[in-house]
Every structure is written in structure tokens, then in C-alpha cells.
Amino acid sequence: MGTELMGSSQKKNIETIAGKNRIIDSIIEAIVTREHFLLLGHKNPDEDCIASLVGLAIILSKFSKATTIYLGAAIARQYQYLLNICKFNSIAVTNSFSILTDPVDVIAIVDTPKPSMIDASPEIAPLLDDPKIIKIEIDHHIGSDSAYCGDQAYSLVTDASSAAELVGHLALKLHNKREALEAHQIDELFSRNLVLSLLTGIIGDSNMGQFLKSSREKRYYRIFSNMFNSMLAKETTKETNFANMNDIHRELTTLSAQEESCYRYLISRKRSSSSIGYVVLTKEDMRKLYGRYDNDMIVAVSRTAVDALAEESEKLGLVAYYDNPKESDLVQFRLRRSRVFKDLDLRTVLSHLAIENGGGHEGAIGFRFPSSQIADIRRYVRELLPKIEEMLVATREAHRVP
């Protein structure tokens, strides 16, 4: 871990590409190897702060990391759509420390000029002083009224239009780490919501949606707007070029309504065993869903659904569905543990059932099979549930006090 810098000195620009890349590589290593992340911004957060928190959280969620955004107070209504993104990507947003039921491995502090401005409760403050916890910092505030909030080796603090630009820079570097992406079954890092979050921060920090002026702002806006336009082109003939905050807000609001509709379809098919709430989506179900929504949205909403099923059952949630046959021949399974249930490390389900194509952390796993191996998805789930229930019984017996 790098030497701690918190409050020790004025923030300075990273002068060399090599120096910036070393820090980015350290942050990527933490993303890949650590499990529990707490994300903090500054008090009275603006659009760049919230968009950067959401963008970084989406990246972490793709690596199946347990991720929580702490916001000490209610945010302004015009930024609420950013929190809707979290809702449909299984990202916890809280103003209560009590939701953090697992030890924190990493704290990421974004868009915060100095330690005194960190939005953190009294219970979180000791974690910032714990040398065992990595402190990542992503910030663009340079100058006399600034001080480092993170560890030296993990402080991506340099001149930029916005913190969202730096999160985007990190994502572009991570996009090229194909081995890490493949190990976590990440087919595409730049989802629609990630790109829109980054655009929101980059544009929003430039006079609330006025046209961009600096060459850097224009460059990063061009990168991410082109990505988003490419995504839209797969689904619609609409020619879109987002130039201001209102365009992004309108599109995100539309997406939120579609996500709600998709979620209602999934959750209307919920069933339960004694300990597991589950949804099984047949090929016919998926034909309807892929006819209405894009793949990225269905994946995000499935995460939301499995979370809701787990919390409702107070044990486990399971969602099973077919990938879009135009893109993949796989059948996907997501298994999630409720926040109040800690007895079973879900990774043992993979080893116990000898499932090779899967991964995750102790509270959430995903696994998949070629569709040719699943003749009947409903029957497969009916046979799978008793095996998981048996593991739960065995776990309860092992934890029973003599």
C-alpha cells in the first residue's frame, strides 16, 4: 500500500504519463483483488460528484464487488435519475452506516478537494484512519486550497475537466485489460448507464450543460458520446448527439421508465422455495424482453430483481434467463445473498456443484452454461433448488451452538 497522504500536502498535477499509469494500475489491481468498497464524495455533492460515484460504482458492480455509496443527506431532485441508475445496477446507496455489514477493504473518495470536505458519518471517520484499508482518491481539484484524501499509490489526482473525466480515463485503461475482464466474465465494460454517467459528470461540471469549451472536455465528450451513439444505433435509427445536460437528463429519465417496466415483468414471475426467492425466464419470456429492451438493460434489471428476491426471502435470491441468441448461446444464473444472511459463502455453491464457468464474491455469484446443456430451464431450476437448500441446512447445522 502507498504511503498515506491524507491532509498532508497540497494537491499537485501528475506530471508524467508513466506516473499516471502507475497509479491507474494500482487502482485496477485493487478493483480486481479486493471485495468490499465504500464510495464517498464531498458534502453537498454536485452533478460531477454524484456522476463520478455512480460511474465508479457501475465499474465495480461489473466485477461483482460489494459496493456501497454513502450520501449523508438527500440530494437535489435534478440528480435523482443518477440514483435510479444505482437502483437498477444493484448498487447500494445509503445515509446509514448500519448497512455496511461486511468489513470494508477499500474506500474510494471522489471529487473532494480536501479531507474536511469528505461526506462521512462519525462511524465512517475511523475507517479513513485505518491503514489496512486502501484509500483510493479520484479528483481534479489542484491548487492552494486542496489537500490529499487518499493513499499516494492510489491517488489519481491531476488536472482534468471533472472527476468524471478521470473515472472515464480509468475505465478506458481498464477496458484494455482483457485478461482481467475475461476472468470476471465481462463482455463489455462500457454499458449505456456507465457512458451516460460519465457524460453527465463531464458536461455537468462545465456550467451545467452549456457547450464544452476546452480541448480536453471536447475530447472526452467526443469519446463517450460516440460510444453512446453507437449503442443507440444498435437499437434505433435515431441520430443522437448529446450536447447539454437536458439531453442526457431526458434520455436517462426515459431509460428509468423502461427499467421499471422491465423490472415489473421479471418480478411478476417470482416464485419461492423454503429459503430461496427465484425467477425463471423461458425462451418465450426472453423473446418478449429482447423485443422491448436492450441486453444491457435486461442484465442490469436482473441484478435488481435478484437483490429484491434475496431481501424478501431473507436468505437467497436466484434469477435464471437466456442470453440474446444474436449475441450468445448461454443461459445465465445469478444467485444473491440477503444482507441479513451471512452463514453461506456463495462461492462454495460453485465448488460443491462443480460449476466451472462462474464467479463472484461471498454474497453474490453468477454462472452460466451453453443453452444446449439446458434442455428445460424450469426443470433445471427445480432440480437445482433442493441442492442449494441442502447446503443451507448443512450450513445451519454447522453453525448451531452445541
43 vs 225: which has the higher pLDDT: 43
- Reply yes or no on whether the pLDDT at 260 is more than 60: yes
22 vs 144: which has the higher pLDDT: 22
Alpha carbon distance 155, 148 (integer Å): 8
Q: Are 38 and 185 contained in the same domain?
A: yes
Q: Is residue 225 part of a domain?
A: no
Q: Is residue 134 part of a domain?
A: yes
For residues 85-100, give the mean pLDDT. 82
- The residue out of 145, 161, 189 marking a domain boundary is 189
The amino acid at 370: P
Cβ-based burial of 375 (10 A; exposed 0-12, middle 13-18, buried ≥19) = exposed
Range of the domain at 147: 17-189
Q: Are 275 and 373 contained in the same domain?
A: yes
Q: Are 277 and 392 contained in the same domain?
A: yes
Q: Is residue 206 part of a domain?
A: no
Q: Is residue 6 part of a domain?
A: no
User: For residue 67, what is the domain's CATH number?
Assistant: 3.90.1640.10
Q: Are 173 and 278 contained in the same domain?
A: no
Do the Cβ atoms of 38 and 165 come closer than 8 Å? no
- The residue out of 151, 170, 189 marking a domain boundary is 189
Q: Are 168 and 282 contained in the same domain?
A: no
Q: Are 182 and 273 contained in the same domain?
A: no
Q: Are 161 and 281 contained in the same domain?
A: no
Q: Are 290 and 154 contained in the same domain?
A: no
Q: Is residue 132 part of a domain?
A: yes
Q: Are 170 and 278 contained in the same domain?
A: no
Q: Is residue 274 part of a domain?
A: yes
SS3 track for the chain: CCCECCCCCCCCCCCCHHHHHHHHHHHHHHHHHCCEEEEECECCCCHHHHHHHHHHHHHHHHCCCEEEEECCCCCCHHHHHHHHHHHCCCCEEECCHHHCCCCCCEEEEECCCCHHHECCCCCCHHHHCCCCCEEEEEECCCCCCCCCCCEHHHEEECCCCCHHHHHHHHHHHHHCCHHHHHHCCCCCCCCHHHHHHHHHHHHHCCCCCCCCCCHHHHHHHHHHHHHHHHHHHHHCCCCCCCCCHHHHHHHHHHHHHHHHHHHHHHHCCEEECCCEEEEECCHHHHHHHHHHCCHHHHHHHHHHHHHHHHHHHCCEEEEEEECCCCCCCEEEEEEEECCCCCCCCCHHHHHHCCCCCEEEECCEEEEEEEHHHCCCHHHHHHHHHHHHHHHHHHHHHHHCCC
Alpha carbon distance 259, 106 (integer Å): 30
Do the Cβ atoms of 361 and 35 come closer than 8 Å? yes
Q: Is residue 99 part of a domain?
A: yes
The string of pLDDT tens digits covering residues 200-248 is 888 765 544 344 566 776 777 778 767 766 765 665 444 555 555 567 6
> What is the pLDDT, as a whole number, of residue 223?
80
Using left for φ > 0, alpha for ψ between -120 and 50, and beta otherwise, residue 170 falls in alpha
**How many domains does the structure of the chain reveal?**
2
Looking at the chain, the whole-number percentage of residues with pLDDT higher than 70 is 87
Dihedral angle sign, alpha carbons of residues 143, 145, 150, 151: positive
Q: Are 43 and 169 contained in the same domain?
A: yes
Q: Are 180 and 281 contained in the same domain?
A: no
Q: Are 135 and 29 contained in the same domain?
A: yes
Q: Is residue 228 part of a domain?
A: no
- The residue out of 151, 171, 189 marking a domain boundary is 189
User: For residue 360, what is the domain's CATH number?
Assistant: 3.10.310.30
- Reply yes or no on whether the pLDDT at 299 is more than 90: no
Mean pLDDT value across the chain: 86
297 vs 284: which has the higher pLDDT: 284
